[in-house]
Amino acid sequence: MTGNKKNPLQHFLVWREGHITEKNFILMLSFLVGIFTALAALILKWLIHCIQDFLTENFSTTEANWLYLVYPVVGIFLAGLFVRHVVKDDISHGVTKILHAISRRQGRIKRHNIWSSIVASSITIGFGGSVGAEAPIVLTGSAIGSQLGGLFKMEHHRLMLLVGCGAAGAIAGIFKAPIAGLVFTIEVLMIDLTMSSLLPLLISSVTAGTLAYIVTGTDAMFKFHMDEVFLLERIPYVILLGVFCGLVSLYFTRTMNRLEGVFGRLMRPYQKLILGGVMLSVLIFFFPPLYGEGYDTIGLLLNGTSNAEWDTVMNNSFFYGHGNLLLVYLLLIIVFKVFATTATNGGGGCGGTFAPSLYLGCIAGFVFSHFSNEFDATTYLPEKNFALMGMAGVMSGVMHAPLTGVFLIAELTGGYDLFLPLLIVSVSSYLTIMVFEPHSIYSMRLAKKGQLLTHHKDRAVLTLMKMENVVETDFVSVQPEMDLGDVVKVISASRRNIFPVVGEDKKLIGIVLLDDIRNIMFRQELYHRFKVSRFMTSAPARLCDTDSMELVMRKFDDTQAWNLPVVDAEGHYLGFVSKSKIFNSYREVLVHFSEE
């Protein structure tokens, strides 16, 4: 009798199906996702600041601090140990992992991602790792949405929506930017925007943002006061800043990609630790603003009003007191920031590129305007305004998300009065990097493998389709030693006009087409003279059971075939895929995918 008892969750699921509609239940879950992701974001920020303040509270301002050589290495060492021996799974590249989960795993993210990224990134960044906390918290939020949806047995398209809700809530919670959370999810993660997905995303974003405001206050994350209003005659300079930010984004993206390749070729963790640790600690020792997220530097450049204030960015370093080298110092930081960020993650740490892109953008905008003011006195460019615009420009270029850059910077700083130049810089930067790099820093890894879920409706639907759902297995196979008479008997009992030729080891050898033997199949005198091995043909192409549907369609287009055989990695015959089956499945998924 006890075997028939339902646990409380099963009781709730049965009750919910009878009392709460699917649409309303998704709204409830999106509210819970918003609360949990905001709490996760607040915990992560608190941990980072506690560790950072404890380690650096006694640092000298006027001279170099030798502990900069030690702390970052200890941080990535501890984070690496935690990942290898406790998590035992790769948790780097958080946004890329979410894209992979949406593209290939129907929105399923492993349970440990709810907490593992928080622990690893807080250690990494607290000890000075030159990365951001945003990508880890986005992965954490998406994992919360995925696990909550899995707990309540949501279908995969609802599960992917909850993954998006988690990402939106994470951005809203850590930045206090609900609109940016929504836009980020649409631009970077989501398949498509429909009315059924908009409301849950809004609920998660607003809930997380509101909770963050309640706990940390209503002030924007970066205090910004616009001293100089935007003038239309500065538009050409704003466009040039956008182009400059696009080139900085291109340098950051491609250099990081190449450096990750260098770390990827190192097989042992301690080799990566040594290379990453030495690179990171030396860079931070000479350029202390590379320590941690770098938000103090952003605040300084956004609020400074004189050279004396801006020169304090060189505190704690050998450059202290050399105000004439400020531009050189900042240009060197732009060059070396990508090395510090990649060394942090490549050496074993855990962090993202949100903060580095904001950091680089702020410095790029400041350098652009300060350099212009030094050498062209005819048109004054307010440094703090251009530093703000630079943040939007580099973020738009690195992430290939211009709207996210605009809304995030506006919400982060309260700089809504600069909305038009923010748009101009973001679009200019995005168009510049698109000339050279079609994929964002997050999507390029999946794009190389053909696993990227894009915003194109047809490709998105193809990605949602699975090979196992379109393989047909009712084709009767024949053996190469069978004669024509045996084949005629098989044909008479089959409804198909294609017959796979399979050897004793179950591997596909070729195919027999009914049209190819139609002229001899009724001549009984030939039944024992012709063997299958004589009149079989090669398949125009073979599909592998691991092929993406986009690759399957490309093979159909290349061969102009109507049916293609499917084999496994060893060449064993599994069945056939037909165009008609794909088209029928495509239509079903499209209808399901687009429903409101």
pLDDT in tens, 400-415: 889 988 988 888 887 7
The rounded percent of the chain whose pLDDT value lies above 90 is 27
Query: What average pLDDT score do residues 575-586 get?
Result: 78
User: Measured between alpha carbons, how far is 590 from 462 in angstroms, rounded to an integer?
Assistant: 9
pLDDT surpassing 70 at residue 358: yes
CB distance 383 to 301 below 8 Å:
yes
Tokens of 165: 């809700």
Query: Would 223 be classed as within a structural domain?
Result: no
pLDDT digits (tens, 9 = 90+) for 15-54: 777 777 878 888 999 999 999 999 999 999 999 999 988 8
Query: Would 585 be classed as within a structural domain?
Result: yes
CA R_g for the chain: 29
* Chosen domain end from 457, 488, 520: 457
* Chosen domain end from 181, 216, 251: 216
Exposed/middle/buried for 102, CB within 10 Å: 0-12, 13-18, 19+?
A: buried
Residues 423 and 560 in one domain: no
Give residue 243's pLDDT: 96
* Chosen domain end from 186, 216, 246: 216
Query: What average pLDDT score do residues 242-268 get?
Result: 91
Residues 470 and 452 in one domain: no
User: Measured between alpha carbons, how far is 19 from 12 in angstroms, rounded to an integer?
Assistant: 10
pLDDT surpassing 70 at residue 514: yes
pLDDT surpassing 60 at residue 456: no
Q: Which helix (H) or strand (E) element contains residue 564? A: strand 563-567
Residues 201 and 236 in one domain: no
Query: Would 481 be classed as within a structural domain?
Result: yes
Query: Would 77 be classed as within a structural domain?
Result: yes
Residues 477 and 389 in one domain: no
Residues 259 and 201 in one domain: no
Query: Would 333 be classed as within a structural domain?
Result: yes
pLDDT digits (tens, 9 = 90+) for 178-189: 998 888 888 877
Better-predicted residue by pLDDT, 540 or 108: 540
* Count of structural domains, the chain: 3
Task: Using pLDDT thresholds of 50, 70 and 90, give the confidence band for residue 245.
Answer: very high
- Assign residue 332 the CATH number of its domain: 1.10.3080.10
Residues 249 and 275 in one domain: yes
Mean pLDDT value across the chain: 83
Query: Would 227 be classed as within a structural domain?
Result: no
Give residue 30's pLDDT: 92
CB distance 196 to 386 below 8 Å:
no
Task: Using pLDDT thresholds of 50, 70 and 90, give the confidence band for residue 208.
Answer: very high
Q: In the 8-state DSSP scheme, what is residue 2?
A: G
Query: Would 222 be classed as within a structural domain?
Result: no
Give residue 591's pLDDT: 55
Short-list 429, 393, 424, CA closest to 409: 393
Give residue 296's pLDDT: 85
Residues 212 and 64 in one domain: yes
Query: What average pLDDT score do residues 359-379 get?
Result: 87
Distance of CA 269 to the CA centre of its chain: 24
Query: Would 537 be classed as within a structural domain?
Result: yes
- Assign residue 532 the CATH number of its domain: 3.10.580.10
3-class DSSP assignment, residue 574: strand
Give residue 596's pLDDT: 42
Residues 60 and 37 in one domain: yes
What residues make up the domain containing 385? 232-457
Residues 387 and 354 in one domain: yes
Residues 148 and 92 in one domain: yes
Residues 158 and 20 in one domain: yes
Residues 95 and 210 in one domain: yes
